[in-house]
Structure 1
Amino acid sequence: MISAYESIQNPKEGTILDVIQATNDSLSNSNIKDSFQKILQESIKKAKISLDATQLKMDLYQKTNTVDAGGYGFLLMLEGFLDGLNGKKYHFNIPQKKPQKTTSFLQIIDHRYEVISLIQSPKITKEKIVDQLINYGNCLDIVQANQKTKIHIHTDLPDEVIGLISQYGTVINTKTTDMTQQVEENKNHKQAIGLVVDSTSSLDSDFTLENDISVVQFKAKWEKVDQKINNPKISIYQKMKLFENQTEKYGWPKTSQPSPQAFLIAFKEQLQKYNYIICITASSAVSGSYNCSLQAKSFLPISDQNRVIIPDFRQVGPGQAFLTIKAVELIKQGYSHHQIEKTLFTVSNNLKVFVIPDKISWIVKGGRVNGNKAKIVNFLQKFNFRPTFYLTPKNIGIMKIYFGHKSVSFLINKYLNQIAKKNNINNLPLKIIIQHSCDNKVIEQLIQKLDPKKFEIIHNSLLSPVLGIHGGPDSIAIGVLIQKI
């Protein structure tokens, strides 16, 4: 304690040092032997007395009827530590306040450069170092321990200070920081924004982990088949091929949307880390995921509800993935949640999303088409009826119809080139996202055929079972952003 006190340039009474000193004396001289909590409790009482006394030692504190802020912070830290030892827990609901506009500090910071240097085996005493550096700035701290000396100073002449320090001994490390730049960076710091998405976005785990995105899972079950084949390496699409003609015996896989509780858990986790959350779910037109997220939001305290933004962008699959990737980009650029929401709606309105199933009969098996319509579909399947479905923010429909044995990847390539011809502006490649239920070799062949001058693939992943169960194995879904945003 004495060494630390002496290391500070011009230590003053009436500051945090008084509170630390009182705590140290109480801890060192306590006669209590059986309980550290009791020792700490006694020391906190002494620290409070010392803190109250700081008001009498500083003219400014007497005029403003306050105590030393640093000492008060130290006391709060001690009290929190004691509460932790006693097992006490706190639950805070902190209202969000509009940040105050900060004026520039560029012209009022004296000694703008912070220099920190560590010296091995100093050649001169601490007193001589103080004599030489005292006139070069302020906040001079010198700490010596184990044949090493740490020097800290704020100065307007960093090069001259570093030159002097280099004469004191072997310099292990030196760091210089422009504090005015730090102030400007803090002043312009944007509010942190987190993301929650549901699993129909089909983003790979590397991307979601890297960007701390919370993914709320849909559930896909095929109980009779899962009991027969309990191997996580075999995908649900491989199982569908194996049991395609045994649906009467084994039924068909089913998906269920996330519960409100699942969203609530994700919201609470993200709210601990971020000021605001943007939640991107599957379109309310095709899934109940959006409504479940709204229910989860309603369970939060009012102050937290205002921090959770859940727009219905009315996208699914590749469209959701596009929105999430764009949101990550905008967050990194420092956009506000209002600006991000507005931009994502623009992105959504400029997306083309389409899906080509390998066999239209999968839609019948999945239960999306039944009755007479199912009979018509099964009849058309005999002629290799091949529709292409489009998904827009407003509806789902059939974009193209083909008959024949052309592969899905051939048709995808054909449609993409048609889109590029109509929408390729300034010869810039169109950004696309691929989601599929195919073997990897099929997708690799598709990617090789795509002209890199026309298309930039920004994400490629397995199709969510929510879409894939109805489209069936060997389906491909594509998202295309037709305008640079």
Structure 2
Amino acid sequence: MKESEGTKLLEGFLNGAKEVVNQKQELNRINVFPVADGDTGSNLAALMQTILDQVSIQTNSIKDGLNQLSEAAMMGARGNSGMIFAQYFYGLSTSYDDALVAEKALVYAAQEASKKAYQAVLEPKEGTILSVMHVWSEHLVEQIEHGNTLIEALTVAKRQTKAALEQTQFQMAVLKKNKLVDAGAKGFYYFIAGLTEYFCNGDVSHYEKMQVDQQEAIEEHFLSEAPRYRYCSEFLVKQLTIEFDTFKAQLAHYGDSLVLIGDQTQVKIHIHTSEPARLMSYLVSNGQVTYQKVDDMQLQYQIGQNAKAKIAIVTDSIADLPKDFSLEHQVHVLPMNLLLDEETFLDKLTIEPDYLQQRLKIAKSMSTAQPNIKTVDTLLSFLEGKYDHVLVISVAAKLSGTYQLITQRIKEKQLSSNWIQVIDSKLNSIAQGLLVKRAVELVEADKSFETVVNELQSLRERIFIYVAVADLDPMIQSGRIPQFLGKIAQKASVHPIVSLNEEGDGKLIGASLSQKQSLKKITKKVSGFANKQRLEAVYVTHVFNEQAALDWKTSLNARAIPVDAIVESSAAIAISAGQSSLAIAGVLKEEEK
């Protein structure tokens, strides 16, 4: 193959990518396998757009071009078909042998790539993208080995692949029932059709460039039936410390729709799971996790089937709420990033309580970070067109940059204040959770957007929180307490009582010689509200101290202070308040004028 033909081949790959982008809507429409979520076209188009953005035809060789293609595909892959496609590109790049004549190197690499695509899937099924990949690759090899030119081989292979595509509607029951060919298989056909038409005839596919944000893109699953597993998760893991086949086999225990791209050095994982935190614990114990994405398919399904309100409620993971409250009431939660030494986790999604408890004891550095820009942008894009209005309730701006970040992104995206508004809760933890709870009650009662915003802005002034700290180390480490004062307090066995001021900044309101004494002081203060019949709602939270929280609830109930819920603190609160901390928050009735 001449150098000019090598360049033309790479241009053909890019032309195939354009053709897939062009067919996004059709591929979404016919998507019914493995789940009828209508997103195969979007996922494949996003993959191809990443390739178009990152791959240059100005390379030293076909091998270099295929390496670029593979690297871009790994970063851009999402969804089952996208991951399988990316594994195919990975197989092309790793199997291409420069020592062979270019035509033979290409078709033999395609044959090996098909095998690697099958290996990437835990339970390969015929009648899918895998089948058409196999047919295309085998016919390429057959034609070249019979002495035909690459143009002839591509032409025949395209024709045979189209026939194989038509057969997919008879190979799987769900496709036969819907009288459809497989969406992923058709996406692959469009790709090789675009490649063939360009290389053989010079035909160029014209397309409109997509604006795709890969690293934090939310997969929008238009599910027609409830998903078996709640979360669609993706991870990028480097430097595996166990055998690849063992790693793959063990991953199968965490869910389904498992697809892997890569090898021992770097592997990207796609899996549907209900236990992303347990899965993350396994991953960090066997490699270095450099990327993670977790989308709530169950929430998306519920919204698609029956949205509970016309106003979306969004908050961040620092808001502590009763278990399953967010899913039951369709609250969208932006996860904070947790940084423990060199590892990063998503709050309330990818870190287990037991693992966090262990790390809190040994971590040299611990901190939290606001959700990143891409996470916020993709959630805002997801909400557009689904709700009449969106209300975001953020952790206190004095404690985190989350409020400023979301406000800035809304401004950047030029979203109307008539559609979306952000409230600085000036609260955190269960106090913020109580404000979110009230927001849910208002929107589910079909109150107007203006009424909801006004009521919440008034209510936040009547929510209190008191924290009985047990361990000063996290507060000293984070700088909330000056180090020299913290050391003195520790030597004197002083246990601070912390609250928030009117602006949402932390303040010290007292101290005791034990946490037990701190709880007595807090109980006395809250009893004053109860005696005046001013309490509307009360939450208690704890950091790995459930029994103490239950005992405190009993004590509070005995003093006519009913506790509506005991909530486990978020990991973000655990990092800042420390292990065994206990807190109480409540809503006060308005004082009679």
TM superposition score category, shorter chain reference: 0.5 to 0.7
Equivalent position of 2:511 in the other structure: 401
CA distance in 2, matches of 1:221, 1:252: 8
Give 1:262 shift: 1.4
Work out which of the residue numbers 437, 446, 459 in structure 1 matches 2:565. Answer: 459
The answer to whether structure 1 residue 232 and structure 2 residue 345 are counterparts is: no
Report percent identity of matched pairs. Answer: 17
Give the alignment of 1:68-107 within 5 angstroms: none
Give 1:294 shift: 0.8
Q: Mark the CA change 1:278 to 1:398 in structure 2 (over 3 Å): closer, same or farther.
A: same
The answer to whether structure 1 residue 354 and structure 2 residue 466 are counterparts is: yes
**Matching residue's letter, 1:466:** A
The answer to whether structure 1 residue 319 and structure 2 residue 419 are counterparts is: no
**Matching residue's letter, 1:308:** I
Residues 316 and 336, structure 2, Cα contact 8 Å, conserved in 1: yes
CA distance in 1, matches of 2:311, 2:402: 21
CA distance in 2, matches of 1:406, 1:472: 13
Equivalent position of 1:128 in the other structure: none
Secondary structure class of the residue paired with 2:424: coil
Work out which of the residue numbers 254, 259, 268 in structure 1 matches 2:367. Answer: 254
Secondary structure class of the residue paired with 1:266: helix
**Matching residue's letter, 1:215:** V
Secondary structure class of the residue paired with 1:467: helix
Residues 432 and 481, structure 1, Cα contact 8 Å, conserved in 2: yes
CA distance in 1, matches of 2:559, 2:480: 38
Secondary structure class of the residue paired with 2:392: strand
TM-score, reference length from structure 1 = 0.53
CA distance in 1, matches of 2:344, 2:455: 42
Q: Mark the CA change 1:346 to 1:456 in structure 2 (over 3 Å): closer, same or farther.
A: farther
Residues 424 and 482, structure 1, Cα contact 8 Å, conserved in 2: no
Equivalent position of 2:412 in the other structure: 299
Deviates more, 1:326-335 or 1:415-424: 415-424
Residues 280 and 311, structure 1, Cα contact 8 Å, conserved in 2: yes
Give 1:266 shift: 1.9
Residues 431 and 455, structure 1, Cα contact 8 Å, conserved in 2: no
**Matching residue's letter, 1:468:** A
CA distance in 2, matches of 1:226, 1:315: 25
Equivalent position of 1:419 in the other structure: 526
Residues 430 and 455, structure 1, Cα contact 8 Å, conserved in 2: no
**Matching residue's letter, 2:525:** Q
Give 1:430 shift: 4.6
CA distance in 2, matches of 1:380, 1:191: 49
Equivalent position of 2:488 in the other structure: 379
The answer to whether structure 1 residue 277 and structure 2 residue 395 are counterparts is: no
Deviates more, 1:389-398 or 1:428-437: 428-437
Secondary structure class of the residue paired with 2:318: helix
Give the alignment of 1:41-120 within 5 angstroms: none
**Matching residue's letter, 2:334:** V
Equivalent position of 2:325 in the other structure: 207
Residues 191 and 336, structure 1, Cα contact 8 Å, conserved in 2: no
Residues 436 and 474, structure 1, Cα contact 8 Å, conserved in 2: yes
Residues 543 and 581, structure 2, Cα contact 8 Å, conserved in 1: yes
Give 1:287 shift: 0.6
Residues 433 and 480, structure 1, Cα contact 8 Å, conserved in 2: yes
Secondary structure class of the residue paired with 1:335: coil
Residues 438 and 474, structure 1, Cα contact 8 Å, conserved in 2: yes
The answer to whether structure 1 residue 434 and structure 2 residue 536 are counterparts is: no
Give 1:340 shift: 1.0
CA RMSD, Structure 1 to Structure 2 (Å): 3.4
Report the structure, 1 or 2, having the larger helix content.
2
Deviates more, 1:284-293 or 1:470-479: 470-479
Work out which of the residue numbers 311, 333, 343 in structure 1 matches 2:455. Answer: 343
CA distance in 1, matches of 2:365, 2:406: 27
Residues 435 and 461, structure 1, Cα contact 8 Å, conserved in 2: yes
Give 1:222 shift: 1.3
Equivalent position of 1:109 in the other structure: none
**Matching residue's letter, 1:464:** S
Q: Mark the CA change 1:461 to 1:238 in structure 2 (over 3 Å): closer, same or farther.
A: farther
Work out which of the residue numbers 486, 489, 498 in structure 2 matches 1:389. Answer: 498
CA distance in 2, matches of 1:240, 1:405: 21
Residues 237 and 472, structure 1, Cα contact 8 Å, conserved in 2: no
CA deviation vs aligned residue, 1:295-350 (integer Å, no higher than 9, x gap)? 22123354x55301112231221221011000111112221111111111221111
Q: Mark the CA change 1:254 to 1:429 in structure 2 (over 3 Å): closer, same or farther.
A: closer
Q: Mark the CA change 1:226 to 1:397 in structure 2 (over 3 Å): closer, same or farther.
A: closer
Which runs of no fewer than 5 residues in structure 1 stay unpaired?
1-36, 38-83, 92-189, 244-249
CA distance in 1, matches of 2:551, 2:588: 23
Q: Mark the CA change 1:440 to 1:294 in structure 2 (over 3 Å): closer, same or farther.
A: same
Equivalent position of 1:288 in the other structure: 401
Q: Mark the CA change 1:334 to 1:285 in structure 2 (over 3 Å): closer, same or farther.
A: same
Residues 413 and 446, structure 1, Cα contact 8 Å, conserved in 2: no
Give 1:393 shift: 3.1
CA distance in 2, matches of 1:261, 1:203: 25
Give 1:197 shift: 0.4
CA deviation vs aligned residue, 1:433-471 (integer Å, no higher than 9, x gap)? 222213322222222222166223233322223332122
**Matching residue's letter, 1:203:** L
Give 1:428 shift: 6.7
CA distance in 2, matches of 1:292, 1:203: 23
CA distance in 2, matches of 1:208, 1:217: 13
Equivalent position of 1:183 in the other structure: none
Equivalent position of 1:265 in the other structure: 378
Residues 541 and 549, structure 2, Cα contact 8 Å, conserved in 1: no
Secondary structure class of the residue paired with 1:450: helix
CA distance in 1, matches of 2:331, 2:381: 13
CA deviation vs aligned residue, 1:44-86 (integer Å, no higher than 9, x gap)? xxxxxxxxxxxxxxxxxxxxxxxxxxxxxxxxxxxxxxxx999
Give the alignment of 1:109-148 within 5 angstroms: none
Q: Mark the CA change 1:386 to 1:237 in structure 2 (over 3 Å): closer, same or farther.
A: same
Residues 436 and 477, structure 1, Cα contact 8 Å, conserved in 2: yes
Q: Mark the CA change 1:261 to 1:482 in structure 2 (over 3 Å): closer, same or farther.
A: same
CA distance in 1, matches of 2:458, 2:309: 22
CA distance in 2, matches of 1:307, 1:270: 11
Residues 429 and 453, structure 1, Cα contact 8 Å, conserved in 2: no
Residues 534 and 589, structure 2, Cα contact 8 Å, conserved in 1: no
Equivalent position of 1:447 in the other structure: 553
CA distance in 2, matches of 1:413, 1:332: 37
Residues 214 and 270, structure 1, Cα contact 8 Å, conserved in 2: no
| Count of aligned positions | 287
Secondary structure class of the residue paired with 1:368: coil
